Structure 1
Amino acid sequence: MIKTWIGLFFVAVILLAGCQPEEQVAPKEQEKAEARSSPEGRFEEYVSLWRAGNFQEMYDNYLNEGTKEAYGEEVFVGWQEQLKEELDATSISIDYAKPNEKSGEEFADFPIAVDISTVAGPVQFEKTLTLLYENDDWFVEWDPSFIFPQLEEGDQVKTEITKPERGEIMDRNGKGIAVNGTGYEIGVVPGNFDEGKKEELAKLLKTTADAIDRQLNQSWVRPGHYVPIGKVAKSNKETLDKIFAITGTERREIPLREYPYGKALSHLSGFIGPITAEQLEELKGEGYHEGDMIGRQGLERSLEERLRGEEGMRIVIEKAGGGAEKIAAAEKEPQQGDTVKLTIDADLQKAVYQAMDGKAGTSAAVNPDTGETLVLASSPAYNPNEFILGMSGSRYGKLQNDPLNPLFVRFAASYAPGSAIKPMVAAIALEAGTLDPDKGMEINGKTWQKPTWGSFRVARLHDDAPNPVDLNTALVYSDNIYFARQALDLGRNALVEGLENFGFGEKLPFDGLGLATSQISNDGHITSEGQLADTSFGQGQMLTNILHLASMYEPLLNGGVIYKPVLFEEDEKAQVWKKELISEENAELLRTSMRNVVTDGFAKSANLKNLPLAGKTGTAEIKAATRDKGKNNGYFVAYNEEDPDFILAMMIEDIGDDSSDIVAKMAADVFKKTAE
């Protein structure tokens, strides 16, 4: 019995001894087992750091020892940070799945899909990221192919840029205004060059002998080297023949922007030129590089974003050791610039520019049924091809110092319209009911005033107008006194309101060229009877833009509407800007009088045999102190009465008291040219 109890006691002790150690050891072993089989946490932390571009933290705490020994901190951290900046790797997307079935206690394989956004487009690849269990934790095994597939240590990653072709500017008929052509770069080989012809070559290339010497004296130049000196358009055959008659000259074909209509459209087209340091800084981050061409004036500048296109780019891997083909890691094709088609008729504009004969002035033509801008000319002008070919400082200085100022864009400015505004004033008074077109008034002498005006008087140019002076006579003889008296009957407020209805004081709804706003006065008000009188015949403080002036004649031909002036073919036509400006009955009265201005008045040079032109002359006194006394700006606004497909407004500066008929003749030459 005692033996039995002793036996039971030992069994109990053994059982208790066996249970006690199991309770203390099992939890630690279980935690270790769980750590080995759950690498997901470390993997997700690593991926999160990868997405954030925190390469230093990835290197310090997540790479296994084998990776660190193989590549080192400079490759892993330095290379990735450098490439991220250089390639503008703005974001990285990493999708992954659970470890595959082959994973074990010492390693875990995670299938990943990587999508990196770069300056050359997306870099996408699929790989397996392995985590190894070392030193009681999970660590990443890495190599450079996790930057780009096929990338190995020692390889070079480079970007290659492909320039887009600049978009062209065409007229309404598809004729080139600014186009991509080819020209010649002209150079000399010093060892063969005839030094005695240096001055001649400089003159042909519009440069100086000193500039040629500077090119030839560069440190890299050797007797047999080709040294570029200047550029010449292919079309300039006469100049090219003279250049190649000089011993030692050579040519190389180069792409070259061309402006086929030269001066006639230069202020509209503008030109391109090398980007400046200031522009590079201002446009930082927008893809421009030193040496790029950029729009400098006119539409080339205002349409820069559309015309420039978007450069293409490739990220390539050059393998260590050389000899192997480059591997494209990512590629973005260049996007060519837009071709922009204008409503401008380039041949009509050329005819207008030639008719202006180099005189200082401006012209515009519009389609009265659509508002399309057919002509927008400024004279005199420069040849934009000279800027492309490389203009010398002396040549540019000559343009700057020219008293006619060919660099000034006159169609963007505003001028006193003189009597060219009278049909609008007449329309306002007719619609207000204060002007009876058949009622004449007795007007005698050159000047007139109200007794309360003191020294202020209204003067008229033609005191031979037959009395009584009615509306038709007043328009034919362009009688300032008649219009001043009608304006007094109309009143200041009614005239201001009427002119505002025609668009005065309101920005012209026209894209891209910064045209001046027409004004009634400096503050938009008329504050005295004298100012009211002056304003009625387009003097005082009134200023008008030439395109707006042409547009203001539209209601006389189309039922009372001014359309938004349109410059681009893609834009909607016949968009109403101002409406119900004049009844058809009153418009017909004014049309009849404007035909009489040509047949009976002071625009007889426009009285063509087979072209029934109608219009209104205008003379605006130049009040600037710097101008000669007796000089005036002359206007003529005209259309073909039988076929009014365009209204032409022309202004010529500083041409004297007989200015109206001079301008009428110029305008008539345009209509004759278009009728041929």
Structure 2
Amino acid sequence: MLTLRPHRARVAVGAALVLVLAACSGGSDEADEPDPSDPSTTAEAFAAGLPSGEVAGIAFVAPATAAGVAEELDAITAELGDLRPEVEVTTVDEADGDTARASLAVSWSLGPDVEPWIYGVDLHLRRVDDVWAVDWDPSVVEPSLTDGERLEVAHLRPARGEILGAGGVPIVTARPVRRIGIDRATVDPATASTSAVALAQLVGLDDPEGYRGRVDAAGPRAFVEAIVVRTDGSFPLDEAAVAAIPGAVALGDEIPLAPTTAFARPLLGTVGDATAELIEESDGALRPGDTTGLSGLQLAHEEQLRGQPGIEVVARAEGATGRVLVQRERVDGTPLATTLDVPAQTVAEDVLADVGPASAVVAIRPSSGEVLAAASGPGGEGYSTATVGQYAPGSTFKVVTALALLRAGIDLEAELDCPATIDVGGRSFKNYDDYPASRTGAISLRQAIASSCNTALIGSEGVVSQADLAAAAEALGLGRDPVLGVPSFTGSVPDEAEQVEHAASMIGQGRVLASPLAMATVAATIARGEVVTPTLVAGPDGAPDAGEPPAEPITPEEAEALRSLMRAVVTDGSATFLADVPGAEVGAKTGTAEYGEERPPRTHAWMIAVQGDLAVSVFVEDGAGGATTAGPILEEALRGLQPG
């Protein structure tokens, strides 16, 4: 198999292709001694040695010698790197007692899914002192090759496909950059080595000595890249200081980039040098030095985005224009359409910019399931907190518990008991520290959700089973197979649990887990009135297959009841600060979830909200509480996401 390195421009390279070397032996018995008086034996030996240039032991017609032919073969193929053909003897015709002609079939593999280059050549042989010798000529390598010509490979680099947002707006597209590095051709080796360290220190590389090593190991005419920077001023590049370093240059180029370095980076992913693991998994599509998607959408949709490199093989004499012997046109990558809304994603990232812990904002359009924003804050250090984080959802999960209670026959005004603490199976549960004392005692389900009473819902654990809770979660979109187009986590709710764990599940603790994407899906399902399948990358026929519907789908009446509960949280509960958000009415649910082994425990801060055709979730890994930590972020996001 053969791997091509993609290049935008046409460039000659060596060591760029890998090909399986093989030669047919004609099926002779390996135990038989070769017969030097048989022209087939010499033809087979030459066919076996031609790809590698190892022709020692083969007789050649004078003045050619095995050593001279080997040297000439090396010169002819020096620019091909590891690229070598497969050569097979197809026929051997003995014209008379002293001459013969062998027909050779030559096949060059030009890469995966690329038509091979196949041709035939004639190999002429003469009997010299009862030994058949090869009458050497460069045309044995390629029929049109003449003395002094060499073979070169050029690659036609495909343009990488863009990643598009909602409405076809380019997100990842070609943007101008400067490639900073050392040009070995302009300085002597000692100067290049010294300059490498100076340049590495100037641009802030972590390992200046490592860069020096790469420069020292490079060829005498190589450009050894140190860093690629945007031209938008986001990197403080002093080009005068670069130019002052002998051999250092700043070359202009364009590469696929998002609007900013941080824009949706955990979701979009990155492009860079292929790792050893990716090369091994590529089945020959990648090799060292290739550029490929390394994470996120860039990795998940690498084949579509990468395209197919073109290739041409040329014959060139010293100082002459090359003759194209074979060419395969490049195929540019195909754009990847996503549902990300650039303004919405920008708002989501802006509201998280100053949040220290890992955090996320996810926005979904309930009517279509389109993910408008999936922002992961800088505290996650590149981790896609928004889509793959697995956290206890705390009291945001109470909308699931409420659905299970509604299905058990408890209506919105049914009376529940909300004590300050409650004991279940030997474990004591309590309400959050600032829970209003006026909402303890006998309260309705509506009031319990609005004020987020833990003990009222835990006290109802005997009314619904863990299986009932899991079914309600599925009806709201938790735990369904993800179809996002990138790795994602849609939640997990066990359908069996012992009593204490079941009690904890009632308030989104225990083994209940969700991602910010999953909780935004819950909110979107409530807003829409049927289960929502979040969509980031549509399939070739539009929206992805939503899979099997929930075993017990949510009904319009149930959805309306849950919307009224979420509205009560804003009008008469823990999220009254959202009451004056402009636009359609807001419904919400706050959430705080304990985690870890510390005492007192650390807490996640959550909020979910619906407003018109918008569902939003907010998460902060370490916070004081849903309303106090996630609340201001949610409010700012909702105000920023207003239409127009």
Paired residue for 1:390? Answer: none
Which letter maps to 1:653?
A: E
Paired residue for 2:444? Answer: 470
Q: CA deviation at 1:497?
A: 4.0
Q: Give yes or no for contact 1:264–1:350 (8 Å, CA) kept in 2.
A: yes
Paired residue for 2:390? Answer: 414
- Say yes or no: does 1:425 pair with 2:401: yes
Instruction: State the alpha-carbon separation in 1 of the partners of residues 595 and 236 from structure 2.
Output: 45
Which letter maps to 2:320?
A: A
Instruction: State the alpha-carbon separation in 2 of the partners of residues 563 and 489 from structure 1.
Output: 30
Q: Give yes or no for contact 1:551–1:563 (8 Å, CA) kept in 2.
A: yes
Instruction: State the alpha-carbon separation in 1 of the partners of residues 202 and 573 from structure 2.
Output: 50
Q: Give yes or no for contact 1:559–1:582 (8 Å, CA) kept in 2.
A: yes
Q: Give yes or no for contact 2:396–2:607 (8 Å, CA) kept in 1.
A: yes
- Say yes or no: does 1:649 pair with 2:617: yes
Distance 1:146 1:491, change over 3 A: same
Q: Give yes or no for contact 2:163–2:171 (8 Å, CA) kept in 1.
A: yes
Q: CA deviation at 1:544?
A: 0.8
Q: CA deviation at 1:531?
A: 1.8
Q: Give yes or no for contact 2:265–2:382 (8 Å, CA) kept in 1.
A: no
3-state SS in 1 of match to 2:61: helix
Task: Return 366-375 or 119-128, whichever deviates more.
Answer: 119-128
Paired residue for 2:9? Answer: none
Q: Give yes or no for contact 2:392–2:514 (8 Å, CA) kept in 1.
A: yes
Q: CA deviation at 1:414?
A: 0.9
Q: TM-score, normalised by structure 1?
A: 0.70
1:91-490 equivalences under 5 Å are 116-119=107-110, 122-125=116-119, 143-185=137-179, 205-206=203-204, 211=208, 231-236=228-233, 239=236, 244=240, 248=244, 251-275=250-274, 285-290=284-289, 292-319=290-317, 322-359=318-355, 360=357, 361-380=359-378, 404-411=379-386, 412-431=388-407, 433-441=408-416, 443-449=417-423, 453-459=425-431, 461-465=435-439, 468-490=442-464
Structure 1 residues 523-552: Cα deviation after superposition (integer angstroms, max 9, x where no partner):
x63111x22221111112211122122222
Q: TM-score, normalised by structure 2?
A: 0.74
Paired residue for 1:660? Answer: 627
Task: Return 341-350 or 422-431, whichever deviates more.
Answer: 422-431
Instruction: State the alpha-carbon separation in 1 of the partners of residues 631 and 579 from structure 2.
Output: 9
Structure 1 unaligned regions, length at least 5: 1-41, 191-198, 221-225, 381-403
Paired residue for 1:614? Answer: 586
Q: CA deviation at 1:378?
A: 0.9
Structure 1 residues 210-244: Cα deviation after superposition (integer angstroms, max 9, x where no partner):
9599979x899xxxxx998755421118945x654
Q: Give yes or no for contact 1:271–1:300 (8 Å, CA) kept in 2.
A: yes
Which letter maps to 1:307?
A: L
Task: Return 476-485 or 270-279, whichever deviates more.
Answer: 270-279
Task: Return 199-208 or 145-154, whichever deviates more.
Answer: 199-208
3-state SS in 1 of match to 2:160: coil
Distance 1:238 1:564, change over 3 A: closer
Distance 1:620 1:230, change over 3 A: same
1:9-24 equivalences under 5 Å are none
Instruction: State the alpha-carbon separation in 2 of the partners of residues 111 and 73 from structure 1.
Output: 19
The one of 69, 73, 79 aligned to 2:62: 69
Q: Give yes or no for contact 2:476–2:526 (8 Å, CA) kept in 1.
A: no
Structure exhibiting the larger radius of gyration computed from Cα positions: 1
Instruction: State the alpha-carbon separation in 1 of the partners of residues 313 and 96 from structure 2.
Output: 39
Which letter maps to 2:493?
A: I
Q: CA deviation at 1:410?
A: 1.6
Q: Give yes or no for contact 1:620–1:634 (8 Å, CA) kept in 2.
A: yes
Instruction: State the alpha-carbon separation in 2 of the partners of residues 553 and 455 from structure 1.
Output: 31
Paired residue for 2:637? Answer: 670
3-state SS in 2 of match to 1:543: coil
Instruction: State the alpha-carbon separation in 2 of the partners of residues 434 and 91 from structure 1.
Output: 79
The one of 496, 519, 529 aligned to 1:549: 519
Structure 2 unaligned regions, length at least 5: 1-37, 188-196, 218-222
Distance 1:576 1:78, change over 3 A: same
Q: CA deviation at 1:435?
A: 2.1
Task: Return 145-154 or 123-132, whichever deviates more.
Answer: 123-132
Distance 1:545 1:55, change over 3 A: closer
3-state SS in 2 of match to 1:69: coil
Q: Give yes or no for contact 2:581–2:635 (8 Å, CA) kept in 1.
A: no
Which letter maps to 1:448?
A: I
Distance 1:104 1:349, change over 3 A: closer
3-state SS in 2 of match to 1:347: helix
Task: Return 108-117 or 631-640, whichever deviates more.
Answer: 108-117
Instruction: State the alpha-carbon separation in 1 of the partners of residues 522 and 507 from structure 2.
Output: 15
Instruction: State the alpha-carbon separation in 1 of the partners of residues 324 and 239 from structure 2.
Output: 44
Paired residue for 2:10? Answer: none
Which letter maps to 2:590?
A: G
Q: Give yes or no for contact 2:422–2:459 (8 Å, CA) kept in 1.
A: no
Distance 1:93 1:589, change over 3 A: farther
Distance 1:133 1:200, change over 3 A: closer
3-state SS in 2 of match to 1:310: coil
Instruction: State the alpha-carbon separation in 2 of the partners of residues 546 and 366 from structure 1.
Output: 11
Q: Give yes or no for contact 2:385–2:515 (8 Å, CA) kept in 1.
A: no
3-state SS in 2 of match to 1:482: helix
Q: CA deviation at 1:672?
A: 2.2
Instruction: State the alpha-carbon separation in 1 of the partners of residues 530 and 363 from structure 2.
Output: 18
- Say yes or no: does 1:573 pair with 2:573: no
Distance 1:109 1:410, change over 3 A: same
Structure 1 residues 160-190: Cα deviation after superposition (integer angstroms, max 9, x where no partner):
3343333332222333333322222457999
- Say yes or no: does 1:87 pair with 2:58: no
Q: Give yes or no for contact 2:419–2:440 (8 Å, CA) kept in 1.
A: no
3-state SS in 2 of match to 1:550: helix
Q: Report the identity percentage.
A: 21
3-state SS in 2 of match to 1:591: helix
RMSD: 4.9
3-state SS in 2 of match to 1:173: helix
Which letter maps to 1:429?
A: L
Q: Give yes or no for contact 2:575–2:590 (8 Å, CA) kept in 1.
A: no
Which letter maps to 2:166?
A: R
3-state SS in 2 of match to 1:576: coil
Q: Give yes or no for contact 1:169–1:340 (8 Å, CA) kept in 2.
A: yes
Instruction: State the alpha-carbon separation in 2 of the partners of residues 429 and 349 from structure 1.
Output: 36
Distance 1:542 1:187, change over 3 A: closer
Number of residue pairs matched by the alignment: 576
Which letter maps to 2:464?
A: L
User: Larger % of helix: which?
Assistant: 1
Q: Give yes or no for contact 1:475–1:593 (8 Å, CA) kept in 2.
A: yes
Q: Give yes or no for contact 1:414–1:543 (8 Å, CA) kept in 2.
A: yes
Which letter maps to 2:554?
A: I
Distance 1:444 1:280, change over 3 A: closer
The one of 582, 596, 601 aligned to 2:568: 596
